[in-house]
Amino acid sequence: MSTSTERVVDIARKVRTPLALSGVVIAVLYAIYRQVLSLNVFENIGANPTFLLLQNVLDKLFWLALVSIVLGVISYLITALISDKPSFEVKGEIIKPSANQVARGEILCTGRAENVRPDIHLWLVVEVGGLLWPKEDEIFVDENGEWSATIYEDGTPDEFSIELFAMNSKADIYVRKWLESGRRTGDYPGLSWIPGSRRIARVGGLRLSSRA
CATH number reported for the structural domain that contains residue 124 in this entry: 2.60.40.10
pLDDT along the chain (212 residues), means of 10: 50 53 64 65 60 69 72 65 61 96 91 94 95 95 96 81 96 96 95 94 90 48
Question: How confident is the model at residue 186, as a pLDDT?
Answer: 93
In this structure, are 128 and 50 located in the same domain? no
200, 111 contact by CB (below 8 A): no
In this structure, are 117 and 185 located in the same domain? yes
In this structure, are 49 and 151 located in the same domain? no
163, 123 contact by CB (below 8 A): no
Determine the longest span between alpha carbons in the chain, in angstroms. Answer: 97
Cα 57 to Cα 49: distance, rounded to the nearest angstrom: 12
66, 176 contact by CB (below 8 A): no
In this structure, are 98 and 198 located in the same domain? yes
Stated pTM of the model: 0.62
39 lies in which domain range? 3-83
Question: How confident is the model at residue 56, as a pLDDT?
Answer: 73
In this structure, are 176 and 103 located in the same domain? yes
Phi/psi region, residue 94 (left: phi>0; alpha: psi -120 to 50; beta: rest), is beta
Q: How many domains does the chain have?
A: 2
In this structure, are 37 and 116 located in the same domain? no
Question: How confident is the model at residue 154, as a pLDDT?
Answer: 79
In this structure, are 16 and 50 located in the same domain? yes
Helix pair 18-37, 47-83: axis angle to 10 deg: 160
In this structure, are 202 and 158 located in the same domain? yes
Of the residues 32, 61, 83, the one at which a domain ends: 83
In this structure, are 46 and 105 located in the same domain? no
Of the residues 32, 48, 83, the one at which a domain ends: 83
Question: How confident is the model at residue 21, as a pLDDT?
Answer: 60
